[in-house]
Amino acid sequence: MGKPTGFMEVPRITDAEAAPLERIKNWREFKIHPAEKQQRAQASRCMDCGTPFCHTGHMVSGMASGCPVNNLIPEWNDLIYRGRWKEALERLHKTNNFPEFTGRVCPAPCEGSCVLGVIGPAVTIKNNECAIIDRGWEEGWVTARIPETRTGKKIAVVGSGPAGLACADQLNQAGHSVTVFEREDRIGGLLMYGIPNMKLDKELVVQRRVDLMASEGIEFKTGIAIGKDSVWTAEKLRADFDATILCCGATAGRDLYIDNRDAEGVFMAMEFLTTNTRYQLDHEFDGSNPALNATGKDVVVIGGGDTGTDCVGTSIRHGCKSVIQLEIMPQPPEKRAANNPWPEWPKIYKMDYGQEEANALQGRDPRHYLVQTKRFLKDATGKLTGLEIVEIEWTKDEQGRFVPQDIEGTLRVIPCQLALLAMGFTGPENEVIQKFALETDARSNIKADHGQFITNVPGVFAAGDVRRGQSLVVWAINEGRGAARECDRFLMGATNLP
């Protein structure tokens, strides 16, 4: 695949970006695709490696290794190299309903397992994927596919995040009539409100795809919270539809129950991000900020990961006074450790866009490692004024488990008027689970085996984070496609869905 000697001749060059100090002035996407000649050259680096681990999608050491939707990566890299872009798009859409989403927000486990990565920098798979789909939209190759016949079967999909949208798309193409229910005022779930606009444009990217799906026959209903809505109850869904697929996500955030948690100025990260994105969309990104903002404040983000990074980038665009990020884990190494071999996801030190922007503004990476928050501090009016933090080390307890241990003499107070809790998610919210009388697993997720997706209630399926726990957008697409396949089989006795 690609040019036989391309990986030896062409150095890895990723997409260009607007300079940090420039891009923080607005909410626009800041990645810039290179000219076609460079993009084709990057695709030429894809080796004829014999066994392409990039599209395996296995779980190795608890993390994704290779593409969870099994993208045919070597095939479309070869087609890019040869300038056959439309065929590359056809290959890409065979496995991925929404490459414009994954091409922007996926951490690219495919690149972590790229065979070329054993000896040098991996192929720019994520950039190549995004270039294919963006060109497809520009050229008018992405058009509505309206099913020629309908089966007469009606399916309800609850939740319009990546799992719900992928599920709806597949089932619609199978000829079923699909209605998607979303509790927010816009379709997209995590894609719409959980990821800031500079990382994933809502109007030009998310809404464009939603509009296409609507033109293909999918019905979208917003402002309906299944489990709470007095009209659209669990009983009504089961009575009105032949099957129901729950793709509600795992939106219950992990809280931090320490002294003065009730201080005014402590918020869950997703509340902060959702409030901001909704406001920006409602005000057409006019330069103003919502009431819940970081303007002029010392911001502390507790927790890392993508959500923490998004909080950093958003706070900077609000015009915060300062921003730091506290991580309880140690700083990753610069290169793979001996216990983190290829093709595992490489746990190495890197700065994402938010850290790059903070570094440009403040002169250093905003992350502080091996730090634990002991308590929040507030003034007489209840407003947050600071955090008491301590440096820790990880030691083994009597049961052999690693636990954090305070380092004597490191307790200190840092100023803070806005603390954002970005420590991950504990699982799905309970209302839907209770209303459908669903069984759950030990982690409070809906109990449904991967590959089958059927719950203990006949005709009710579960997919995405609500089933597997908080995960990647690409895993959600995998699950949505899988649940659609099994639902189609349940309704029709057999299925042709992949």
Mean pLDDT value across residues 106-135: 96
Q: Does domain 6-139 match CATH 1.10.1060.10?
A: yes
Quickly tell me which residue has 């697409």 as its tokens: 477
pLDDT number for residue 123: 97
Classify 459 as helix, strand or coil. coil
Mean pLDDT value across residues 62-86: 95
Residues of the chain with CATH 3.50.50.60: 154-251+426-492, 255-423
Per-residue pLDDT tens for 380-434? 999 999 999 999 999 999 999 999 999 999 999 999 999 999 999 999 999 999 9
- Percent with pLDDT over 70 in the chain: 100
Q: Do the beta carbons of residue 370 and residue 402 sit within 8 Å?
A: no
Mean pLDDT value across residues 455-469: 97
Tokens of 485: 């396949």
Q: Which residues of 28-45 are buried (b: 16+ CB within 10 A; e: fewer)?
A: ebbbeebeeeebbbbbbb
pLDDT number for residue 113: 96
Quickly tell me which residue has 């440096």 as its tokens: 391
Per-residue pLDDT tens for 144-157? 999 999 999 999 99
DSSP 232: S
d(CA 223, CA 240): 19
Per-residue pLDDT tens for 222-250? 999 999 999 999 999 999 999 999 999 99
- The contacts of residue 403 (CB under 8 Å, 6+ apart) are 394, 395, 396, 397
d(CA 119, CA 342): 10
DSSP 192: I
454: which strand partners? Answer: 461
What is the crossing angle of helices 305-318 and 353-362, to 10°?
A: 40
Strand duo 177-181 + 219-221: pairing = parallel
Per-residue pLDDT tens for 268-325? 999 999 999 999 999 999 999 999 999 999 999 999 899 999 999 999 999 999 999 9
Residue 62 has pLDDT above 90, yes or no: no
pLDDT number for residue 304: 87
pLDDT number for residue 3: 86
Domain spanning 255-423, CATH class? alpha beta
d(CA 180, CA 164): 8
pTM of the predicted model, to two decimals?
0.96
Tokens of 8: 């030896």
Q: Does domain 154-251+426-492 match CATH 3.50.50.60?
A: yes
The mean pLDDT of the chain is 96
Q: How far is CA 29 from CA 274, 313, 361, 451, 462, in A?
A: 18, 12, 19, 35, 33
pLDDT number for residue 1: 64
Per-residue pLDDT tens for 475-493? 999 999 999 999 999 999 9
Per-residue pLDDT tens for 166-212? 999 999 999 999 999 999 999 999 999 999 999 999 999 999 999 99
d(CA 401, CA 399): 6
Q: How far is CA 389 from CA 86, 281, 406, in A?
A: 54, 36, 10
pLDDT number for residue 47: 86
